[in-house]
Chains A and B, each alone.
Chain A
Amino acid sequence: MLYVDQDKPDPIKGEMNEFFGLKVDYAFYIVTKMDSGRMLDLIDDGKMAIKTRNGFKTQQWYFDQTSRTIRSASNDESWDIMKQGDEPGMQVHKTNSEWW
């Protein structure tokens, strides 16, 4: 049993969430380590692709402490494995904080 008032407070904006390894509400890019160094981008219909850096918000992401998901700085939706985790494809989808 963990009393709420004795629980370690959640990290706030800019602080590291050690479990997820990401700073809270702090925008970041995801850069492939392949030679191209392209960035993860949100394209049409929630699809994701690597693209040349373009300075648009569709290439920025942030870790949301409340939902524990990675959200797009462009539309605030979250990374998601397609078909509720049944298909291998990745997409950006309405936040539901399920394991997928």
Chain B
Amino acid sequence: MSADKNSNGAHQNWKVVYVEEETYVVRRGEIGGKYGLRAGQPFFLMSKLSTGRVIDSLSGGTVTLENWSRGKASQQFFFDAKTRTIKSMQWKNKSLQISDNGKGHNLTLAKTTARWWQMWYFKNNQVVSERQLVWNIKDEKDDRGVKIDIAKSSPGAASQSWTIMYLDSLPTELRQGELNKDFGLLIGRPFHIKSKTQGGRYIDIPAYGGRQDQGSLVIKIPNGQIT
């Protein structure tokens, strides 16, 4: 910054914005303008690839795809309206960023600096950086532990499409004995699997020489055993 002669160019023009009179103030729960995220509300970032895995973070800053676990804080993030970054619920002084201060090609978690490589906008199901690069799952590899790339936008690609799942919008967790409609089973309630063949046998874990074989199952006459 230098003190130069007046030339009245844009580079010499400034506006004073008083902090208390600022119009752009986002309160908890409100959408943060162009950022497309609700301020201060924890959420999961779920891939639109078929298994619906979510973004997870490790203490070292690595960000990968993982199976969704409702109570896991390292999978939860929030939009911080003050710094305009996406912060981790597990490490609240860290934000999602492009690796190597914007020079890298991976999504990582690092100490919040609120520089451009930590700014993200959620629009049209993509998470877009200030320089129009997006989160991408390389080769659409829908596996646990897969890292997230920073790539050019391909609108509509499932590998670049994400769903924001806010915690306060999730259905309440099912309790013991209640039906999980997705899986069609009652929670925590023991059951037999009964064959519809004439014998009506049950699936059983066979025992060989006193040791239960973990590999294969058989059908047997009901025997009252826990197997």
Which residues of A does B touch, CB under 8 Å? 22-23, 26-34, 40, 47-56, 60, 81, 88-91
Contacts and interface: CB of A to CB of B under 8 A. Distances in A.
Contact of B115 (A28, A29, A51, A88): A51
Given A55-B83, A81-B3, A34 B20 contact: no
A26 B115 contact: no
Contact of A88 (B4, B10, B80, B130): B4
A88 B3 contact: yes
Given A27-B20, A31-B15, 11 more contacts: A26-B20, A27-B19, A29-B16, A29-B22, A33-B14, A34-B10, A52-B84, A52-B116, A55-B84, A81-B3, A89-B2
B13 to A, nearest CB: 4
A32 B1 CA distance: 12
Interface residues of B, number: 25
Given A40-B1, A88-B3, A89-B2, A29 B17 contact: yes
Nearest to A80: B3
Given A22-B16, A28-B16, A33-B15, A55 B2 contact: no
Contacts of B17: 28-31
Nearest to A56: B114
Instruction: Please report whether the interface of chain A is mostly helix, strand, loop or mixed according to DSSP.
Output: strand
A53 B85 CA distance: 11
Interface string B81-97: 01110000000000000
A32 B16 CA distance: 9
A55 B20 CA distance: 13
A8 to B, nearest CB: 23
B113 interface: yes
B97 to A, nearest CB: 13
A26 B114 contact: no
A69 to B, nearest CB: 14
A48 B2 CA distance: 9
Contacts of A26: 18-20
A6 B84 CA distance: 50
B18 A27 contact: yes
Interface in B17-63: 17-20, 22
A40 B2 CA distance: 12
A26 B21 CA distance: 10
A40 B14 contact: yes
A47 B130 CA distance: 25
A54 B84 CA distance: 7
Given A32-B11, A54-B114, A89 B16 contact: no
